[in-house]
Amino acid sequence: MTDTNQELASFLDSHPEVTHLDVLIIDLCGNAIGKRLPASSMGSVFRQGSPVCGAMQLVDVMGNTDDPMGYGFSDGDPDAFAVAIPGRLCPIPWVSGNKAQVLCEFRGSVDNAPLWYEPRQVLKKVLQRFESLGLKPRLAVELEFYLLDAKRGDNGAPLPAVSPRSGLRESSGKVLSLDKLDEFNDVLGAIEAACRTQHIPTTSMISEYGAGQFEVNLQHQDDVLAAADHAALLRRAVQGVSRSLGFDASFMSKPFADQSGSGMHIHLSLMDEAGNNVFDPNQTDGDLRLGQAVAGLQATMAEAMALFAPNLNVYRRFKPDEFTPVTTDWGDNNRSVAFRIPPSDGANRRIEHRVAGAEANPYLVVAAVLVGVHHGLTAKLSPGDKHGGNAGAEVDPALPLTLWRALESLRDAKTLADYLGTDYLQIYADVKQAEFDAFLADILPREYDWYL
């Protein structure tokens, strides 16, 4: 038996009640898609893989394809094979107790090779660039989300969650409130328990600024692919648990115009072959290499904005004085900058990348962050002075803080293209442009109010 075959056999011995397996792929938009197999077909996923339309990695947020670069309609929409990733088989605790899930990668139906346009493969390609430097990234992901009422308001607008304690709808947040954690303990505790069951290593949970807004922190990982897997699977767990308990949950960046936005923050350090953090100021050139890494992030922020902010809504986060980056500044223990150096001892010194929206694809976000760091180190860039005050008072006009400008910056990218490939930037931009065009195809209600 292969390792994955043995994994399935051991799992079924421990969970004889399981009758169905959800085969998961994380698509370009960061959504979990796939199919459900009965027990009689589970083994195929752990051997040759289960056939799934390969172009599903190139659909927009609604699951539609626009035939980007001829993948979809033009090539006959061929199947690829979804093959189980070792260590990613687990129960699904928010549904009836007879279902499990496994995260998969696509393999080509002819040559069994990975699909070049799968986001997880894009991240793998970037990670390989660090091998020649003798460095290994270490990172953790933080994700913010809103708990919502399962019902919708006028025109489908979200409604804040109703407090289980008071029966009143949430109207404002209480940042770092332990009382809010207690108030929503049933659902938050169930999320934490589900993550334990699914081996998603959460560390802390925080009440955030928005009404019903919370943050979940994930453990630092030496395995960067695992860290991105955990972020993708966390979103599925949060939404699945919330819906099973009568709530809804959303990682939409800005579900409420008057409330704070939700982000995906990446905490990154670099380890040398001896396991030392090269950003540690006690290491040779620790400060220099930290600055070079930050400078690379500064240099690539505009190019990568469409990966960090993949839809129209995300750009509503980027406003002055919102603790959301609107410049390329960096600084020590300063939440107004894009690249924050949190307080820590030298061994845990790291960069907090604060740009991405919560709904962005975690593989692509991490890939773009690593591109910036690698570029800064190899090109020996300088970050300029740290910002000690409010860096978010005014928007940097050079940043592409609209979707259309961000897609233009992605198509024109030079550094990002060197790492991710020109074809990937084109195919991603084509998918998101088609999504945006489809979004604007219908007349919006405000057009009647303003222009009729």
> What CATH number is associated with residue 59?
3.10.20.70
Q: Is residue 121 part of a domain?
A: no
Residue 106 and residue 136 share a domain: no
Is 50 contained in some domain?
A: yes
pLDDT of residue 145: 98
Q: Whose CA is closest to 129, among 372, 299, 361?
A: 372
Do 135 and 100 share a domain, yes or no?
no
Our count of domains for the chain comes to 2
Q: Encoding tokens for residue 22?
A: 């959800």
d(CA 230, CA 37): 23
pLDDT at 3: 66
Q: Do the Cβ atoms of 80 and 109 come closer than 8 Å?
A: yes
Phi-psi domain of 107 (left: phi exceeds 0; alpha: psi -120 through 50; beta: other): beta
pTM of the model: 0.97
Boundary residue ending a domain (89, 115, 141): 115
* 256 inside domain: yes
Nearest to 78 by CA among 119, 109, 48, 34: 109
Between CA 238 and CA 187 the distance in angstroms is 9
Amino acid 111: pLDDT: 87
For residue 82, being part of any structural domain is answered with yes
pLDDT at res. 338: 98
Q: Tell me, yes or no, whether 232 and 89 share the same domain.
A: no
Question: Same structural domain for residues 206 and 231?
Answer: yes
Question: Which pLDDT value is given to residue 332?
Answer: 97
The token pair that represents 419 in the structure block: 């790492």
Positions in the chain short of pLDDT 70: 1-3
Residue 231, domain member (yes or no)? yes
421: alpha, beta or left, given left = phi > 0 and alpha = psi -120 to 50? left
The Cα–Cα gap between 386 and 323 comes to 17
Convert 159-182 to b/e letters by CB count within 10 Å (16 or more is b): bbbbeeeeeeebeebbeeeeebbe
- Inside any domain, residue 122: no
User: Are 131 and 12 members of one domain?
Assistant: no
pLDDT digits (tens, 9 = 90+) for 321-365: 999 999 999 999 999 999 999 999 999 999 999 999 999 999 999
Closest CA to 299 of 405, 181, 187, 380: 380
- Sequence-separated (6 or more) residues with CB below 8 Å from residue 357: 253, 261, 262, 263, 264, 308, 309, 310, 313, 314, 317
Neighbours of 136 (CB within 10 A): 18
392 plus 315 within the same structural domain = yes
Q: Can you tell me the distance from the alpha carbon of 117 to that of 133, in angstroms, rounded to the nearest whole number?
A: 25
Q: What is the CATH number of the domain that holds 442?
A: 3.30.590.10
Residue 64 lies in domain: 3-115
Q: Same domain for 291 and 314?
A: yes
CB 329 within 8 A of CB 390: no
CB atoms within 10 A of CB 133: 13
- Write the CA distances from 192 to 14, 29, 162, 185, 344, integer angstroms: 22, 25, 20, 10, 26
Same domain for 175 and 45: no
In this prediction, residue 1 carries a pLDDT of 37
Using the 3D structure, point to which of 84, 115, 146 is the last residue of a domain: 115
Domain co-membership, 290 together with 166 = yes
**Do both 136 and 96 map to the same domain?**
no
Instruction: Please list, residue by residue across 209-241, b when 16 or more beta carbons sit within 10 angstroms of its beta carbon and e when fewer do.
Output: bbbbbbbbbbebbeebebbbbbbbbbbbbbbbb
User: Do 35 and 80 share a structural domain?
Assistant: yes
Q: Which residues of 262-279 are buried (b: 16+ CB within 10 A; e: fewer)?
A: bbbbbbbbbbeeeebbbb
The token pair at 301 is 């922020």
Q: Are residues 198 and 263 in the same domain?
A: yes
Considering 115, 144, 161, which residue would you say is the last residue of a domain? 115
Q: Quick one: which H or E segment has residue 205?
A: strand 202-207
> Would you state the pLDDT for residue 247?
98
> Quick one: pLDDT at residue 2?
54
Q: 236 in a domain, yes or no? A: yes
Residue 120 lies in a domain: no
